[in-house]
Amino acid sequence: MKPDSAAHESAHLHVSGEATYIDDIAEIAGTAHCALGLSTQAHAILTTVDLQNVRNSPGVIAVLTAGDIPGVNDCGPIIHDDPVLAQGEVFYIGQPIFAVVAETREQAQRAARLGQIEYRPLPAILTPRAAHAAHDYVLPPISLTRGEPEQKLKASARQLSGTFDIGGQEQFYLEGQIAYVIPKEDGCFHVHSSTQHPTEMQHVVCHLLNLRAHQVVVEMRRMGGGFGGKESQSALFCAVAALAAWKIKRPVKLRPDRDDDMMITGKRHCFAYDYAVGFDNQGRINAAKIDMITRAGFSADLSGPVATRALCHFDNAYFLSDVTINAFNGKTNTQSNTAFRGFGGPQGAIAIEYILDDIARELKMDPLDVRMTNFYGTHDRNVTPYGQPVKDNVIHELVAELVETSDYRQRRRAVSDFNQSNTILKKGLYLTPVKFGISFNVKHFNQAGALVHVYTDGSVLVNHGGTEMGQGLNTKVCQVVARELGISLNQVRATAADTSKVANTSATAASTGSDLNGKAAQNAAAQIRQRLTTLAATLLQSEPEQIEFSGNHITAGARRMRFTELVQKAYEERIQLWSDGFYKTPDLSWDKDTLTGSPFYYFAYGAAVSEVVVDTLTGEWKLLRGDLLHDAGTSINPAIDIGQVEGAYIQGMGWLTTEELCWDQNGKLTTHAPSTYKIPATHDCPDLLNTTLFSNPNGVDTVLRSKAVGEPPLLLPFSVFFAIRDAIAQAGQQNISPPLQAPATPEAILAAIRAVKGI
C-alpha cells in the first residue's frame, strides 16, 4: 500500500482566503450582534447590576442576564457547575455577567462596557498551591499506588526530592471563538459554531432553551484551529448567541475579540509538583512518589479527565515498579482550564522527565543512559502503573534509530567541547522519548458514525462525526473512502460536520479523529462496495471473490468496467448507493474508582533530539537544530502527519519557553493579547529540522494500520526545555540541577543561572 501525501483538502482554499469560516458566512438579513459584559472581580457577590446605560446605548436591541434563561444556566460538559451568565456571584475576572445584542458588532461591544456593577468582594484563591493548602478542589483528588513506594524509597541507595512548576498555555487558535445562531420555523434553531464538539453544543443549547435535540442543528465546516480550546468552551458562545436569537427572534452572531476570548476562556492547566524518588547507582528508579496540583480554575470543566490523563502519563516511556501518583485539581478564581493538545498527558510526562534529568546530574551520567535504563521492557517490566500491559513497545528501536540519525553521541561531545571553550554562550543537547496512550479515557466516547453517498455520476460525498480544525481529518477520511472504493481522491468530498446527519458524536479530541471516523467511513464505504461487488460479479460474469476495485475501475481478471458505469447500472437495478457506518474501539477497560485497567487501545511513540545555545548574560536562547522521529503507524498521509509532528513540536516549545500566562495580584490575566503573550513564529523555528516518521504498522487493527498523531508529538519539545536546562547547568557547577521552571523565559533562565552559580 503506497503512502499518499495528498494535499489537505482545503489547502487551495486556505491559501487563497476562500475557505469559509463562520464569520465568512453571508449574513442573513436581520442578523444582530452580541457582546459580553465581564466581571472585573476575581470573587465577589454581585450587589448591583445596573444595565440602564447599556440598554440606552445606540443600536441596542436587548440586554440579557441569567434571569432571561428559560432553561438551565449551565454550559459545563461533565459537572454542571459552569454558569453561562453569572448569577449572584462571580468567580473570576473575565466571567460573563450579561450579554448585549445590538444592530452592529461595534455597537454591541461599546454597550457591553457600560454596565454599572457593584461587587462585595470575597476572598479569592489565585494559585494552585494556595488552593492545595486550603484543600479547595473542583473535584475529589485522585490517587494511584502500585507496590510499596514508601518502603522501596527508604531502601534505595540514592534519593532525591524536590518541587517544580510548569505553566499553562493559551490555545491561541487563529480563528477565535464564534457562534452564529439562526432561528428556524417551529421553534427550531440552526447553530453555526466553531467547535470540536457539535453534539455537546446541541445539548447545551437544548438545556438552555428547554428544547429537544431534534430542534437544534449544529453545523461546523471547519475551525481555524481548536487545539482543545473548542472541545467544551465553545459552549458559552453558542449558549449566549442562542439565548439572544431566541429572545429577539432574529439571527445572532457572537464573535468576541481576542482580548475577551482570552479573558473568558480556559487554557492548558499549569501544574505544580512535589516529588520524591529512590534509585540505584546505575540510575534505575526503585520508587517514585508525586503530587501533581493543577490550576483547574473556578469550575470542573474537563479537569477530571485531564488529571486522569496526567496520572496515566506520569510513567511516559518508563517502567515504575513502585509508585504513588496523586492528582489534585486546585480550585482557583481564574478561567476554568480545559483541554489543550495532550490533555494533561504532557504535564504528567514532563514530571518524570524532570526527575530523570535530576537523577542523571546527580550520578554524572549521560541523561539518555539513565533513560534507557528505565525504559519499559518488551517481555518484562512492561506493565503500566494503572495495570495496562505495554504490548507494542518500540521505544528501544526508535531511540536507537534517532541516536544514529541525529548523531547524538558525537554531538554531545561537540557540545561539551564548545562549552569548555566558551564562557558566555553555553550549548545544550538533549534527547527525550514519548509514549502516549490513544483512546478517550471515558470509554463511551470511543465511538463514531459516518455517512457515505455515491451519486450516479460516480462522485462521492462523505459525512462523519469528526470536525476539521486544520489537522487534515477530512483529507484522511476521504483517502480512506477513496481507497475502499478504488477511486481517485478527487472523486471524494467531505461535508461539514452536522448533528442532523450523524447523531450523538464524540468530540474530535484525544487524537482519535481519524481512528474513529476513518473506521466509521470505511465501514460505510465497505457496505456500498459489498453491494456493488455482487452486481459487478454478474455483469462481468465472474465470482465476487475475483472482483477488484482500483484505479476508478472494477476488474475481474481480464474483464473490467468503469466505476461510474457500475454505479449507473446499480442505480438502474435499484441498489442502495449510500450507507451509514459505525465504529467502536474494541478491548477498552477502565475502572475509575481504582484507576486501573486498559484505557488505551494502543500507544504512539516518538523521540526528539534538540540542540540549543543560551546566552548566559541575557537569558536569550535559540533552538539550533531539531531531529524528530515519530511513530504514526502506517501513515495514511505522511505529509499531513509530518505537519502535525512539526506543528506540535513548535507549539509545545512555545508552551515550555516563551508563552507565559501572568495574573496580577487581583487575579486579572494581564497577558491577554499577542502583544504580551508570545507564541512561536517562523524565526523561532530552527534552521535545521529533520522530521521522519518511524516505520511501524500498528499492531492492532486501526484504520489502514495508522496511528493517531494529533497530540503525542506535543511531548517532543521536552527535549528543547531540557537542552536549555542542560546548557544552564554548564554555566555553573555541573552537578547542580538548575531550578528551571517552565516556561523557560529569559527571566526564568537567568534565575536558574544565578542559582547554579550560587549568586
Q: How far is the CB of 376 from ligand MTE (least distance, A)?
A: 24
Examine residue 702 and tell whether it contacts ligand MTE (CB under 6 A): no
Residue among 392 and 711 whose Cβ is closer to ligand MOS: 711
Residue in 165, 196, 144, 128 with CA at minimum distance from that of residue 337: 128
> On the CB side of 353, how many CA atoms lie within 13 Å of its CA?
29
Pick from 22, 114, 454, 507 the residue near ligand LUZ by CB under 6 A: 507
How far is 153 from 85, CA to CA, in rounded Å? 49
Residue among 296 and 509 whose Cβ is closer to ligand MOS: 509
User: Which of the stretches 125-133, 177-185, 507-515, 669-677 binds ligand LUZ when contact is defined by CB under 6 A?
Assistant: 507-515
Q: How many residues does the chain have?
A: 759
Distance of CA 522 to the CA centre of its chain: 25
Q: How far is the CB of 473 from ligand MOS (least distance, A)?
A: 12
Q: How far is the CB of 509 from ligand MOS (least distance, A)?
A: 3
Examine residue 228 and tell whether it contacts ligand MOS (CB under 6 A): yes
Examine residue 340 and tell whether it contacts ligand MOS (CB under 6 A): yes
Residue in 621, 608, 610, 624 with CA at minimum distance from that of residue 714: 608
Contact pattern from residue 656 through residue 695 relative to ligand MOS, giving x for each residue in contact according to CB under 6 A and a dash for the rest: ----------------------------------------
Distance of CA 217 to the CA centre of its chain: 25
Examine residue 228 and tell whether it contacts ligand MTE (CB under 6 A): yes
Cβ neighbors of 447 (< 8 A, separation 6 or more) are: 506, 516, 582, 583, 584, 585
Instruction: Output DSSP code: residue 712.
Output: G
Q: How many chain residues interact with ligand MOS (CB under 6 A)?
A: 10
Grid cell in block for residue 621: 536562547
Residue in 434, 385, 34, 40 with CA at minimum distance from that of residue 244: 34
Contact partner at residue 312 from ligand MOS, ligand MTE, ligand LUZ, none, CB < 5 to 8 Å by partner kind: none
Number of residue whose CB is nearest ligand MTE? 513
Pick from 49, 287, 302, 749 the residue near ligand LUZ by CB under 6 A: 302
Residue among 626 and 652 whose Cβ is closer to ligand LUZ: 652
Contact partner at residue 132 from ligand MOS, ligand MTE, ligand LUZ, none, CB < 5 to 8 Å by partner kind: none
Instruction: Output DSSP code: residue 676.
Output: T
Examine residue 339 and tell whether it contacts ligand MOS (CB under 6 A): yes
> On the CB side of 694, how many CA atoms lie within 13 Å of its CA?
30
Residue among 479 and 517 whose Cβ is closer to ligand LUZ: 517
Contact partner at residue 512 from ligand LUZ, ligand MTE, ligand MOS, none, CB < 5 to 8 Å by partner kind: ligand MTE
Task: Please provide residue 447's backbone torsions phi and psi, each rounded to the nearest 5 degrees.
Answer: -150, 155
Active site members: 711
Pick from 644, 698, 730, 745 the residue near ligand MTE by CB under 6 A: 644
Q: Are 277 and 172 in contact (CB under 8 A)?
A: no
> On the CB side of 358, how many CA atoms lie within 13 Å of its CA?
22
User: Which of the stretches 235-243, 286-294, 336-344, 401-409 binds ligand MOS when contact is defined by CB under 6 A?
Assistant: 336-344
Residue among 200 and 362 whose Cβ is closer to ligand LUZ: 200
Pick from 221, 309, 476, 725 the residue near ligand LUZ by CB under 6 A: 309
Examine residue 196 and tell whether it contacts ligand MOS (CB under 6 A): yes
Residue among 197 and 529 whose Cβ is closer to ligand MOS: 197
Q: How far is the CB of 510 from ligand MOS (least distance, A)?
A: 5
Residue among 73 and 471 whose Cβ is closer to ligand MTE: 471
Cβ neighbors of 240 (< 8 A, separation 6 or more) are: 34, 36, 64, 84, 85, 96, 99, 179, 254
Q: How far is the CB of 404 from ligand MOS (least distance, A)?
A: 32
Grid cell in block for residue 177: 471563538
Q: How many CB atoms lie within 10 A of CB 497?
A: 29
How far is 241 from 238, CA to CA, in rounded Å? 5
Pick from 92, 227, 319, 430 the residue near ligand MTE by CB under 6 A: 227
Residue in 319, 316, 354, 289 with CA at minimum distance from that of residue 144: 289
Q: How many CB atoms lie within 10 A of CB 13?
A: 13
Examine residue 604 and tell whether it contacts ligand MOS (CB under 6 A): no
User: Which of the stretches 209-217, 340-348, 386-394, 639-647 binds ligand MOS when contact is defined by CB under 6 A?
Assistant: 340-348
Burial class (CB in 10 A: 0-12, 13-18, 19+), 238: buried
Q: How far is the CB of 445 from ligand LUZ (least distance, A)?
A: 6
Q: How far is the CB of 437 from ligand LUZ (least distance, A)?
A: 8
Residues 84-143 within binding reach of ligand MOS (CB under 6 A): none
**Strand 32-38 to 96-102 pairing:** antiparallel
**Residue the block writes with cell 443600536:** 59
Residue among 333 and 512 whose Cβ is closer to ligand MTE: 512
Residue among 73 and 644 whose Cβ is closer to ligand MOS: 644
How far is 535 from 369, CA to CA, in rounded Å? 61
In the three-class reduction of DSSP (H, G, I as helix; E, B as strand; rest coil), residue 418 is classed as: helix
Q: What angle do CA 199, 203, 206 make, to 5 degrees?
A: 135
Residue in 252, 293, 257 with CA at minimum distance from that of residue 272: 293
Q: Are 727 and 744 in contact (CB under 8 A)?
A: no
Residue among 357 and 711 whose Cβ is closer to ligand MOS: 711
The CA R_g of the chain, rounded to the nearest whole Å, is 27
How far is 649 from 686, CA to CA, in rounded Å? 11
How far is 297 from 95, CA to CA, in rounded Å? 12
Q: How far is the CB of 630 from ligand MTE (least distance, A)?
A: 13
Examine residue 84 and tell whether it contacts ligand LUZ (CB under 6 A): no
User: Which of the stretches 84-92, 253-261, 273-281, 508-516 binds ligand MTE when contact is defined by CB under 6 A?
Assistant: 508-516
Examine residue 514 and tell whether it contacts ligand MTE (CB under 6 A): yes
Task: Please provide residue 171's backbone torsions phi and psi, each rounded to the nearest 5 degrees.
Answer: -65, -35
Contact pattern from residue 335 through residue 364 relative to ligand LUZ, giving x for each residue in contact according to CB under 6 A and a dash for the rest: ----x---x---------------------
Q: How far is the CB of 707 from ligand LUZ (least distance, A)?
A: 16
Residue among 507 and 588 whose Cβ is closer to ligand LUZ: 507
How far is 464 from 451, CA to CA, in rounded Å? 6
Residue in 618, 609, 623 with CA at minimum distance from that of residue 427: 623
Pick from 246, 314, 343, 694 the residue near ligand MOS by CB under 6 A: 343
How far is 572 from 582, CA to CA, in rounded Å? 27
How far is 518 from 539, CA to CA, in rounded Å? 30
Examine residue 46 and tell whether it contacts ligand MOS (CB under 6 A): no
**Residues that bind ligand MTE in the complex, under the rule CB under 6 A:** 225-228, 341, 469-471, 473, 508-514, 644, 708, 710-711
**Residues that bind ligand MOS in the complex, under the rule CB under 6 A:** 196, 228, 231, 339-341, 343, 509-510, 711
**Residues that bind ligand LUZ in the complex, under the rule CB under 6 A:** 231, 302, 305, 309, 339, 343, 440-442, 507, 509-510
